[in-house]
Amino acid sequence: MTNESQIDCYILFPNHNEGLKLHKAMKEAGVKCMISPTPRKLSECCGISLVVAEEDLEMAEKIIEETDTKIEKIVKLVRERPAVWNKFC
């Protein structure tokens, strides 16, 4: 499904514990988020990111502050999903 206009906000962490901590807090607060492998264009290192929709970013930033979660950065990416995906790894 191609959705050119959708923006995904990737929250990157110094380690997975911080990512899991935020994921739990976001779930408890009812904010939608998704654990995702960090896209290579955002970091050379492997590991988790949290993806939130642009409209939920403000709430996510509030929870980051309230829970004192350590993050590396937040990057906005335009979602690029081809209609048919035939690449495997």
Partner 1 sequence: MADYRKMWEDLGMDLKTHDLLCQALPDAYTNIYLAQENRPEGMAYYDFVVSEIHGVRPAELIEHQRQGGKVFGTFCIYVPDEVVFAAKGIATGLCGGSQFWVPGGEKVLPTSTCPLIKASVGARLDRTCPFFRIADVFVGETTCDGKKKAWEILAEDVDVYVMDLPQMKRAKDVAAWAEEIKAFMKKVEEVTGNKITAESLAESIKLINNKRRALARVFEARKHSPVPISGKDALLITQIAFYDDPARCAAQANALSDELEKRIEKGIGVFPADTPRIMITGTPMAIPNWKLHHIVETSGAVVVVEEMCTGTRYFENLVDESQTELDKQIDALAERYMKINCACFTPNEGRIDDILRLAKEYKVDGIIDVNLKFCGLYSTESYKVQKAIKEAGIPFIHLETDYSEQDAEQLRTRVGAFIEMIRK
Alpha-carbon distance 49 to 10, whole Å? Answer: 6
Count of residues touching partner 1 (by CB under 8 A): 34
Look up residue 35 and give its two tokens. Answer: 């654990």
Regarding 82 and contact with partner 1 (CB under 8 A), the answer is: yes
* Per-residue DSSP letter, 39: P
Q: At what angle do helices 57-66 and 16-28 cross, to 10 degrees?
A: 110
Write the binding mask 29 to 58 for partner 1: x where contact by CB under 8 A, - elsewhere.
Answer: -----xxxxxxx--xxxxxxx-x-------
List contacts with partner 1 (CB under 8 A). Answer: 1, 12-16, 19-20, 23, 27, 34-40, 43-49, 51, 72, 81-82, 84-89
